Amino acid sequence: FIDRQIISALQLPIRGELKLEDLGIGLLSGYAFATFYSVMGLYLGVLADRVNRIRLIAIGLFLWSGMTALSGMARSFEELALARIFVGVGEATLTPAALSMLSEVFPARQRSLAAGIYYMGIPLGVSFAFLLTGMLEPTYGWRNCFLMLGVIGVLLTGVVFLFRDPRIRRDLLSQSSPTRSSIGFGQVFHSMLEIPGVLARSPALVLTMIGGCMLNIAVGATYHDMTWMKVDRHFNPAVAAASMSFYFLIGGGFGNVFGGWFGAWIERRMHVHRLWSVILSLVVCVPVLAVFRLMPPAHPLFWICYTVVSVSVTIYYGPVFSTVLELSPDHLKSTMMAFFLIGMNLLGASLGAVIAPVITTATGSRTKGLLITGLISVLAVPLFLAAMKMMKHSQEMTNTDT
């Protein structure tokens, strides 16, 4: 996640040297990375349902880290965008494989928390991206920041190979056929053809996925926060980087764990679906977002609201992603997760990263652009309510048939 967020962290020196505007940074942070991340993620998600997932992740880590290092050699928007494309291809190996392994290792009641802990990688990645680049860029320059972080990732590839795929271990213990190490494109294409049928049979899954995309549009607006804090709120770049690092580490980290825990708690104690935890969180966080964007930094409320907004960026991951896994067939969990990530990236964060500068240009205010884009997240509420209603109806029909 550091490699994914490094464009946002280094956007100020990159803008200056490559002569980019908000839209260019939005495209580098979003679609240049996310298009191939999402499209290849579908193929690699299908692949993860059939091959050794640890090896798949290790190969991906080597690719995305190597391309991060090469990003430091870019001399134009086009060259940096090309490198980001291959970073996206490499990172596409990770989440479908990792989440499907978690769903096998943890029982259903713990999957929301497990997914939330996994997505601790986002605030940790954002935090370390801003922290490390804030320390290194003034001395070594933005290009060497890419190089150093990329080399570290390449070296970590060997560590990943030390882990074992739980599916391989399960196959060995049950003396069943081991997972195949190769797969033809025809088999992958066949699995992809199953996706429309899965979606048609589960409207609740469709609504949950669309709701997740609405939430992620708001996340895309935060890609421009570094520029907003410097230009519109007049922060020193080093102070802005340190602030974003701290608040995303504390707030985002807490949001992941709390969101996963709250989803599990509300399901266990209140006997309602975990998506209610996301709805209740939005009731609190959306008004706070408006105050944060409009309040001057000198006011104490700015920093209080900043903390809450940092929590809101990650609080929904555990409940939403575990619900998608819950509603997906066992043999297609990685595939459906990869399909969901297409929406989350292309119709979510990447779209938000482009919508925000478009609104900024139309209104003449970056603050309004980021605020309006963030408020799109409220559209998730009716979608999740409808999804839970359909899940309840489906469960009642199952009980009646039984």
- Segment 10-20 shows an average pLDDT of 88
Better pLDDT: 112 or 67: 67
Taking the C-alpha atoms of residue 67 and residue 90, their distance in angstroms, rounded to an integer, is 9
pLDDT at 179 over 50: no
Res 186: pLDDT? 62
Taking the C-alpha atoms of residue 55 and residue 61, their distance in angstroms, rounded to an integer, is 10
Taking the C-alpha atoms of residue 356 and residue 366, their distance in angstroms, rounded to an integer, is 8
Which pTM was predicted? 0.76
- The overall average pLDDT reported for the chain is 86
pLDDT at 402 over 80: no
Q: Which fold has domain 2-161+186-396?
A: Growth Hormone; Chain: A; (1.20.1250)
Res 170: pLDDT? 58
Query: Residue type at 274?
Result: R
Res 146: pLDDT? 93
**Is residue 339 a contact partner of residue 208, using CB atoms and an 8 Å limit?**
no
**What is the tens place of the pLDDT at every residue in 271-325?**
899 999 999 999 999 999 999 999 999 999 999 999 999 888 889 988 999 999 8
Q: Residue 337 in 3-state DSSP?
A: helix
- Segment 199-213 shows an average pLDDT of 95
Helical (H) or strand (E) element with 275: helix 275-294
pLDDT at 32 over 70: yes
Res 184: pLDDT? 53
**Is residue 181 a contact partner of residue 54, using CB atoms and an 8 Å limit?**
no
Report in angstroms the alpha-carbon separations of 130 from 12, 136, 155, 337, 399.
Answer: 12, 10, 21, 28, 51
